[in-house]
Amino acid sequence: MPQSPTTIVDELGIALANFADAATGTFTPTLRLGVTGLSRAGKTIFITALVHNLLTGGRLPGFAPLTEGRFIGARLAEYPDATIPRFAYEQHLAALTGKPSAWPESTRRISQLRLVLKYQSNRWLSGMTGPATLNLDIVDYPGEWLLDLPLLSLSYAEWSREALERASRPASASEAKPFLDILGGVDPAKDANDLDAEALAGAFTQYLRSSREDGRALSTLPPGRFLLPGDLEGSPVLTFAPLPPQDHTMRSSSLHAMLAHRYEAYKDKVVRPFFRDHFARLDRQVVLVDALRALNAGPAAVADLETALTSVLACFRQGESNPIAKLISRRIDRILFAATKADHLHHTSHDRLETILNRLLANAARRAKFAGAETKSLAIAAVRATREGTIEERGETLSTIVGTPVEGQELDGTVYDGRTEIALFPGDLPDDPESVFEAGKPLAFSFLRFTPPRDLERNASGDPVLPHIRFDRAIDYLIGDWLK
């Protein structure tokens, strides 16, 4: 039977934490926004751009409080939990806007930042009392941690069965073979020993890494901390692997029993505290999706991405939020799924990218709606790295994107040096989203990674202006209703 993701003690701890949050927010309401993404989807860039645009009053025509003249401004403030690392906004902005510019380092741990937003309410009573304020707490965490949440409802036997089934698929053959070869030579009933456990865990971790390479782009392969171990590297809690199902009870001293115990310890010591202390206290959630990478890898990766999005959404504590219920139990009432890197496509394909994302999310969105939560899909670029142009080829005019590929990117035998600007026809996304799931149907795309934009414009205050695609609509969906 599936296990409950939380215990009674967990629920009590969540309720107490939410009550403490409510008590500290008596005079200034607080909105907790979680930001995560699957496999290099641009979490750090999203948060940096979000903070910078709010601090500088960026060009956000779709952000209603700003265009209506009601958004007064924002400032950085001290985050109330001193035990969580601060999101390094200033360093990330310096990387994006420096000379030469560079993309900031990806998320490898949980971090946080608080913005105090000041605005004029358009409600009659609130407007009579002068400007209002809102604390916006932004919580950044690796997507690998998000993919771990479904483990809370799986026993070791259930997880092993799913993991080995995926490893045995033809699409995983080359990546999984070294692990499966080692697994085939191990007797789960033998006496437990660390050498066997370490060999299995090491081979399984390498399989996970290989599956996340650009050519594979698979998403649903927990445990996530195997790839981002931090200070847990080499500890027993990260030294386990799936084993084939057993038709009889194993001795408590067996290798099988050891690995099962370590799997449960991983859930109790790593996954559950994250869920209890951070994830269960969110009001809004952004899930960034690099759908283009999956499309580039083929139908197997697209199907895998659909499975990942469906399974992680099932772990969200979804539902309508109201001030009384929020005293003891927070619920995520809005979830934004954002297909990032829209600047890697011509604008004529942006709506098609959103349609594909909606198809990937169809089952998950229905479940969220039933629980009382809203979901929205957008194709965005938090920081636009390209502009659009056209080229003539064989008498045909092709819509292109123009930008500078990151050093080492390769296309059609050309390796780019990180300085040369090119015009690229990336291909058109299909009108029918079902076609991206069809095996054996080739999809002709040319997706490259581009350097950040150069020679940024400056506003009247001298602050850099970060170009974007539909980012204003994303911000309005996430926080606009709180600023009415």
pLDDT for residue 444 = 66
Task: Please check the confidence at residue 402 and state whether its pLDDT lies above 50.
Answer: yes
Q: 462 falls in which pLDDT band (50, 70, 90)? A: very high
Q: Are 288 and 43 in contact (CB under 8 A)?
A: yes
The reported pLDDT for the residue numbered 1 is 38
Position 2 scores a pLDDT of 41
Domains of the chain: 8-141+278-384+468-483 (3.40.50.300), 154-272 (no CATH)
Average pLDDT over residues 196-202: 96
Packing angle of the helix pair 43-56, 471-479 (nearest 10 deg): 80
> Which has the minimum average pLDDT: 30-34, 121-125, 182-186?
121-125
- Spatial distance between the Cα atoms of 155 and 132, rounded to a whole number of angstroms: 48
Which range, of 124-133, 196-205, 333-342, averages the lowest pLDDT? 124-133
In sign, the C-alpha dihedral spanning 76, 82, 85, 91 is positive
- Burial of 286: CB neighbours in 10 Å, binned 0-12, 13-18, 19+: buried
What was the pLDDT predicted at 39? 65
**pLDDT number for residue 182:** 96
pLDDT band at 436 (very low <50, low <70, confident <90, very high): confident
Taking only Cα atoms into account, the Rg of the chain, rounded to an integer number of angstroms, comes to: 24
Q: What is the mean pLDDT of residues 221-245?
A: 89
pLDDT digits (tens, 9 = 90+) for 10-52: 555 555 555 555 555 447 899 999 998 876 789 999 999 999 9
Q: What is the pLDDT of residue 197?
A: 96
The three-state DSSP-derived secondary structure of 142-175 is CHHHHHHHHHHHCCHHHHHHHHHHHHCCHHHHHH
Question: Distance (Å, rounded) from C-alpha 5 to C-alpha 121?
Answer: 39
Given a cut of 80, whether residue 484 has pLDDT beyond it is yes
Q: Would the pLDDT of 454 be above 60? A: yes
pLDDT (tens digit per residue) in 437-451 = 887 666 667 788 999
pLDDT at 209 over 60: yes
Higher pLDDT, 61 or 234: 61
Confidence at residue 21, expressed as pLDDT on a 0 to 100 scale:
55
pTM of the model: 0.87
Using a pLDDT cut of 90, give the percent of the chain over it: 53
* pLDDT per position as a tens digit, 267-320: 999 999 888 888 888 999 998 998 888 888 888 888 888 888 887 777 777 666
Whether residue 271 contacts residue 151, with contact meaning beta carbons closer than 8 Å, is answered with yes
Residue 468 has pLDDT above 60, yes or no: yes
**pLDDT tens digits, one per residue of 163-174:** 999 899 887 888
Which helix (H) or strand (E) element contains residue 64? Answer: helix 64-67
- Residue 313: what pLDDT? 78
pLDDT tens digits along 310-355: 877 777 776 665 554 554 457 889 999 999 999 999 999 999 999 9
> What digits encode the pLDDT tens for the residues 106-117?
877 889 999 999
Look at residue 205 and tell me whether its pLDDT is greater than 90.
yes
Cα distance from N-terminal residue to C-terminal residue, the chain: 45
Query: Mean pLDDT of all residues in the chain?
Result: 86
Highest mean pLDDT among 275-284, 351-360, 385-394: 351-360
Of 280, 282, 285, which Cα lies nearest the Cα of 477?
A: 285
